[in-house]
Structure 1
Amino acid sequence: MAQWEEIEKAAPEFAARVRQRFEAGTNKTIATLRRDGSPRISATEAEFKDGEVTFGSMPGAVKLRDVQRDPRIAMHCPTLEPPAENPETWAGDAKLAGLAVAIPPPADSPHQDAGFFRVDIREVVLTYVGVPADHLVIESWHEGRGYRRRTRA
């Protein structure tokens, strides 16, 4: 699995666009797995810093119990709709998936009893409307395969 800095080195323009989408707003959506294996989605905040993607969870949160039991997660950027008049100007939709790995809380955090994690990344995907606006462009990075770009009509 990779840290964010490895994706930045392998595909810097792609990584910059993905990061821009994630930083377009505070609230991201995270998918975790419940005890019975069904998915759970929750809001979270994430940070791209020092070559890593990190997030936290308040003590007692169900998503915290989920990732402590099964570290597989997926995370989606803040959702923004494509402009109706010019969909090709839309920055796109970004997501990543991997494993949540527990890390120590930041020294300055007032929530020392919360859960803090970095994401060991398996895949990153960015989807947007192509030019002309008659197709989608899917850019991705996958563990073991690297960067790839394809289109879908």
Structure 2
Amino acid sequence: MRWADLETAEPDVAAAVLGRFRAARHHVLATLTLDGSPRVSGTEVDVWRGDLVVGSMVGARKAADLGRDPRFALHAHTGDGSMADGDAKLAGTAQEVLDAEELADYVADRHPPEPFQLFRLLVATAVLTDLQGDGIRVRTLRPGRPLTTVVRGSAAPE
């Protein structure tokens, strides 16, 4: 689903997830290499025109990985380790933005260093983990399914 769809489906969870991505500049993007093994790369995340997007230098490994196999996982910077504002993770597929007019609009609006490649992230799973009492709460959202919530630890129901 597009980011805008996630915001419509579960505005509170989407706001909390986006808050984690906006709390720090750099995050960890996992892609798949040619042989199927994972690769992690640093990346910045932006919301533009209702889409979650990441950019890449032309020819970067992460861009090559996403061009070959669009599956990704994205983990928000965890901050100070306190989990005060939760931990956010996304997974899905990336679509490279190739439309020249759309790329020109993005450049005019965001002024990225050029040359670059831009990828729209389609979210298949959004997970927000936060503290609840002495335990943790894990909220998971998948397209077409209701939000699921699991509480673990001493705060979990018996």
Query: What's the TM-score once normalised by structure 2's chain length?
Result: 0.85
Over the matched positions of the two proteins, sequence identity in percent amounts to 37
Partner of residue 28, structure 1: 27
Secondary structure of 1:91's counterpart equals coil
CA offset digits 1:70-123 (Å, max 9, x no partner): 00001111122443xxx6xx1110010111101143233454532101111101
Q: 1:113 to 1:14 in 2, by over 3 A?
A: same
User: Are the aligned partners of 2:24 and 2:79 in contact in 1 as well (CA < 8 Å)?
Assistant: no
Q: Distance in 1 between matches of 2:143 and 2:112?
A: 35
Secondary structure of 1:6's counterpart equals helix
How far off its partner does 1:23 sit? 0.4
Q: How does 1:68-107 map to 2 (within 5 A)?
A: 68-83=67-82, 90-104=84-98, 105=103, 106-107=106-107
**C-alpha root-mean-square deviation of aligned residues, in Å?**
1.5
Q: Is the helix fraction higher in 1 or 2? A: 2
**Does residue 137 of the first structure (1) align with residue 137 of the second (2)?**
yes
Q: Distance in 2 between matches of 1:29 and 1:52?
A: 18
Q: Distance in 1 between matches of 2:28 and 2:52?
A: 14
Q: 1:129 to 1:37 in 2, by over 3 A?
A: same
> What stretches of structure 2 of length at least 5 have no aligned partner?
154-158
Moved over 6 A (4+): none
Secondary structure of 1:152's counterpart equals strand
Q: Distance in 2 between matches of 1:146 and 1:52?
A: 21
Q: 1:44 to 1:110 in 2, by over 3 A?
A: closer
Query: What's the TM-score once normalised by structure 1's chain length?
Result: 0.88
> What stretches of structure 1 of length at least 5 have no aligned partner?
none
Equivalenced residues, count: 145
Q: Could you tell me which amino acid in structure 1 is paired with residue 91 of structure 2?
A: A
Secondary structure of 2:127's counterpart equals strand
Q: Could you tell me which amino acid in structure 1 is paired with residue 143 of structure 2?
A: E
